[in-house]
Amino acid sequence: MSKLFLIAEIADTSIAICSEVIESVVTVGDVVEVPRCDPVIAGLFALRSRVLTLIDCQYRVTGQRKTVHQKGLAVVASIGGHNFGLMVDRVSDVVSVAEEAIIPATKLDRKWRELVKELIEIEGKLHMVVDPERLVAIEARLAA
Amino acid sequence: MDDLREDFIAETRETLEILAGQLVQWEKTPDDLGLIDSAFRFVHTVKGSCGFLDLPRLLRLSHAAEDVLSHARDGRISVCPELVSATLAVIDRIAALTDALETGESVFDDDPGLIAAMLAFLPTEQAVEEEASAVGSDYLNEEVASIVDDHTSRSKSRTVRVSLNLLDKLMNGVSDLVLARNEVSRQLRRYGASTEIDHAFGRLSTTVAEMRDAIGMMRMQHIDRLFSSLPRLLRDICIDLDKQIELTVEGSEVEVDREMVEALRDPLTHILRNSADHGIESAEERRSVGKDPVGHIQVVARQSGNQILVEISDDGRGIDVEKLGQKAIARKLLTIGQWQKMSERAKLDTIFAPGLSTADAVTAISGRGVGMDVVRNNMHAIGGTIDLENHDGHGLKITLRLPLTLSIIAGLSLRAGGQIFGISRSSVVEIISVANRNVEIEHIGDMPIAKVRGERLAYAKLEALLEVEEAACSQGMARTLVIIRPAVGATFALDVEAVVDNEELVVKPGAPLVMATGLYAGTTLPDNGRPMLLLDASGLAAAIGVEEDLFERDTKRHDAVHLEKRQIDSGLLFETMDGKIRAIRLASVERMEDFERAAFHEVGGRLCVSVNGTLFDVRGLDGLPEQSHVKLLRLTDGSSIVFLAVADVIDIFAIDGEVAPSLNPEIYEGIVHVDGRPIELLSSFSFFELTSDAMRSHASGRPLCFISAETEDGWEQRVLAPLLKASGYDVTFDEQHRATASVMLSLDANADASNGDCRLVKLRDSLRPAEGGHDSIYRYDRAALLSAVSSKIAGGA
């Protein structure tokens, strides 16, 4: 058994996202800000007839807000019944990884520790597997 | 098999709901064959199905009930209330077992006891009974078959059972369809389209709209589904409490969203129990106060606009507000002082405080004080409100208001900081321009308060609440106040850039992180294709601070919103023009205003300020001000207004300690301690004692003086009328007002028609009284004239 992963870049770091939760990758149109909200929420944008919540993944990792610009890329994922767009710098590839190549993450940088529980090896290079659920989790934010 | 079982459960439950009301009716008219028939048909159907599904307990129960009911139907045994009770017990057990079938729980098995209780009504001993039942069932099987056939052909107007999930999915699909249609509409507009496309699109739009309505209807249910269980509920309560209560239900045909029906069930049950238990008195008590010994409870549902109203009214004793207060105080929910300051409405609303009940005794039915707060929370959860109308000693009316559906709301879009926000129209009371003459924004200290037609409301700018910049281009434009009454919290005024539009919005819940702000109710995608945040009225109220908890809110409301109340014991700390710190009772401060130097005048040795053409006294300044602007506190004693010049306002504090006497009581009321510093409290009295009558408010209450019989030189008009006006009277020369005047003045008194009228003040030309004219006053004797007028008024009053 193997799993598909999307390889993308967040905060200048190459990461992987399990394709199971991913619906598509889109360019973000008009973004409407959400005042008084957690800064991890970059805003709302419309995708066809749906409203998606745009997540500033970079802020989540580094604490630095990414400037939202038109034509930015977002990974569309449905998490807990809500539609999210996860802002990424760029998307490079989709790879199939054998289950054996997925290993639990150990000893990670503080800023990534919360988001990453697994690592995968692609062509001899380790990639962190970012769990989108943790990106948008409210409990984690409150604790942080 | 599982499918069949599920169908059986659903069907049995549905029939039970319909049956519940009929059974209670049956109890009242035990020999009503139609009702016996309904009960019989029910147990018969259950028996038939469970034989097939292999449910032995249900089979035994329904079999016994069927036996007895068939006897009753044929008139072989007479129906007495005991029999009805026994039957109801069996039917209840059938319901319990049906529920258990679904949940997989077990129900205690004392069925034989219930069955024996039923069979006891059968005429003779076991053998005969057995025989009778055998004969009965055979004979019945045929006849009933025909009845059931009739029944099915009559009432089953082609329906299918659809799972709620599927229905929800369909609903979501249609919502998306509507939004997709909007998207297409936008694209068409952008790229331009031929008439044919427009035409086709128009047809598509109509179809989509129709479909949305139809699916909306699919989710609708008669509220009867809920109401039909009430008679049974009340019957059981009445038996427990040994009370007689008659229930009237109206508006069963009103349709509400399926989810609403479920959400309403608990609150309604609870309210009904409360009414029956606490509201309705015992028969003796009712008789002694001259009421009908039978209590009445009325449940009415009706649709009003996009709201459903459910009113539950009883003719019981109502809520004893004072008792409620004692309980609340005893439970330390609030202090005596707080209670006394609360409005009647707020007092009544303490019934919603957690853990409060006016019941003296805790009964099995209610009175444990877990109740009204839960009811209110349930209502709020579905976007509804609850209102009480209390008639002490004569009953209570509870009104539940709920939105028609949960997902599509009538919304209003507002602009603030260049962004568009939506808000549910149901919470908006009024939209009014800030430029409107009836609107004033006052500042008490740093806190702004909106005054709309004299009513003070908590006020906030939406931009400030959301911490966004005000749009630069909107500077100087007239803004708009949206008066909002949230489901939770006090009414407040929201200041927005503009109200943009009015539209139907399909609301979707926002992501948890968005909802965590507490300010938003969800997101929506309006026709313009830009996502819009829907504001949560209650959340905004909380952000402004008009809502903390029930009691906090009340005191706050009285403090901040209805200033009159707080003013009782608060002081305003300020700096005088010569740099000293002084205090004044807040009660006498109406507001603070800024005046330009040009508005100040020295008139008659006094410093005055002109406001809209009227001059008011100014205190606290020795001469015309040197600064270009001066802050003035507007003081009032209710009728007079004077202004007090201050360098700055520092703070508002509570005057709670002792007020020490002052050495200079003419100017200072006393000395108070503010943060440990002694501060001289200015006497409000001193400001007003010097104010002349003419400065008093002109609104009303000025006595009317009628002057008759003008002399040729017009002395009355040129001299007398101005004097009276300056002394605080209204003057008329019009004969028509003679009757309503408090005083009449006449120079040529003897010739006047009203000679002898006690309201008349006679005047004369000469210094010395003429012969027999001692009761007249010389027309230039100012003091005597004014005192005569004022004594006439005092005498007349």
Kindly report, residue by residue over B247-275, the tens digit of the pLDDT.
888 888 888 877 778 778 888 888 888 88
Does residue B511 belong to the interface with chain A, where contact is any CB pair within 8 Å?
Answer: yes
What does each C-alpha distance from B408 to B304, B500, B524 come to in angstroms?
Answer: 16, 19, 10
pLDDT of residue B143: 41
Helix axes B2-28, B33-53, angle to 10 degrees: 160
- Distance of alpha carbon B336 from its chain centroid, rounded? 25
**Percent of chain B whose predicted confidence (pLDDT) is above 70:** 82
> What confidence tens digit (pLDDT) does each residue in B674-711 have?
777 788 888 777 777 665 544 444 445 577 888 876 66
Q: Is residue B537 within 8 Å of residue B424, measured between CB atoms?
A: yes
**Cβ neighbours of residue B208 closer than 8 Å, sequence gap 6 or more:** B174, B177, B178, B181
pLDDT of residue B474: 65
pLDDT of residue B561: 38
Question: Would you say residue B554 has pLDDT above 60?
Answer: no
pLDDT of residue B139: 40
- d(CA B497, CA B470) in angstroms, rounded, equals 8
Task: Identify from B169, B181, B514 which residue to disrupt to test chain A contact, counting A C-beta atoms within 10 A and taking the largest count.
Answer: B514
pLDDT of residue A7: 93
pLDDT of residue A5: 92
Determine, for residues B183 and A48 on separate chains, whether the beta-carbon distance falls below 8 Å.
Answer: yes
- d(CA B546, CA B542) in angstroms, rounded, equals 6
pLDDT of residue B369: 44
Domain range summary for chain B, segments of one domain joined by +: 2-150, 164-222, 224-403, 407-551, 559-687, 704-793
Does residue B509 belong to the interface with chain A, where contact is any CB pair within 8 Å?
Answer: yes
Taking phi first (over 0 means left), then psi (-120 to 50 degrees means alpha), and beta for anything else, what does residue B269 get? Answer: alpha
- d(CA B164, CA B167) in angstroms, rounded, equals 5
* Closest chain B C-alpha to A60 CA, distance in angstroms: 13
- Return the higher-pLDDT residue of B143 and A91: A91
- d(CA B254, CA B310) in angstroms, rounded, equals 10
Architecture of the domain made up of B704-793? 3-Layer(aba) Sandwich (3.40)
Report residue A44's pLDDT band, with 50, 70 and 90 as the boundaries. Answer: very high
- d(CA A95, CA A80) in angstroms, rounded, equals 25
- Return the higher-pLDDT residue of B165 and B394: B394
Architecture of the domain made up of B407-551? Beta Barrel (2.40)
Q: How many interchain CB pairs under 8 A, A with B?
A: 81
Residues of B in contact with A30 (CB under 8 A): 529-530
Cα(first)–Cα(last) distance of chain B, in Å?
92
DSSP for residue B162: -
Average pLDDT score, chain B: 76
Q: Is the pTM of the predicted complex or chain greater than 0.80?
A: no
> What confidence tens digit (pLDDT) does each residue in B617-631 have?
888 877 777 777 788
Determine, for residues A35 and B511 on separate chains, whether the beta-carbon distance falls below 8 Å.
Answer: no
pLDDT of residue B552: 38
CATH 1.20.120.160 given to domain B2-150: yes
CATH 3.30.565.10 given to domain B224-403: yes
Q: Is residue B583 within 8 Å of residue B684, measured between CB atoms?
A: no
Task: Identify from B523, B527, B540 which residue to disrupt to test chain A contact, counting A C-beta atoms within 10 A and taking the largest count.
Answer: B523
Architecture of the domain made up of B164-222? Orthogonal Bundle (1.10)
Angle at B537 between CA B535 and CA B538, to 5 degrees: 125
- Return the higher-pLDDT residue of A49 and B146: A49
Helix and strand counts by DSSP (H, E) for chain B: 25, 34
- Ordered DSSP codes for B77-123: S---HHHHHHHHHHHHHHHHHHHHHHH-------HHHHHHHHHTTSS
- Ordered DSSP codes for B399-424: EEEEES-SSEEEEEEEEETTEEEEEE
Cα(first)–Cα(last) distance of chain A, in Å?
36
Query: Which positions 152-191 of B are in contact with A (Cβ < 8 Å)?
Result: 176, 178-180, 182-183
B559-687 — its CATH code?
Answer: 2.40.50.180
> What confidence tens digit (pLDDT) does each residue in B557-578 have?
344 333 333 334 677 888 888 8
Determine, for residues A136 and B513 on separate chains, whether the beta-carbon distance falls below 8 Å.
Answer: yes
Question: Which of A135-139, B97-101, B353-357, B656-660 is the least confident region?
Answer: B353-357
pLDDT of residue B557: 39
- d(CA B458, CA B541) in angstroms, rounded, equals 9
R_g of chain B computed on alpha carbons: 38
- d(CA B645, CA B640) in angstroms, rounded, equals 17
> What confidence tens digit (pLDDT) does each residue in B147-181 have?
444 444 444 456 677 777 788 788 778 877 877 78
Question: Would you say residue B194 has pLDDT above 70?
Answer: yes
**Letter for the amino acid at A88?**
V
Query: Which positions 17-76 of A are in contact with B (Cβ < 8 Å)?
Result: 30, 32-38, 40-41, 44-46, 48-51, 53
Q: Is residue B71 within 8 Å of residue B122, measured between CB atoms?
A: yes
- d(CA B625, CA B610) in angstroms, rounded, equals 14
Determine, for residues A35 and B417 on separate chains, whether the beta-carbon distance falls below 8 Å.
Answer: yes
User: Searching chain B, which residue's CA lies closest to the CA of residue A54?
Assistant: B511
* Closest chain B C-alpha to A139 CA, distance in angstroms: 9
Q: Residue B703 half-sphere exposure, CB side, CA atoms within 13 Å?
A: 21
Does residue B532 belong to the interface with chain A, where contact is any CB pair within 8 Å?
Answer: yes
Same-fold call for B407-551 versus B559-687: yes
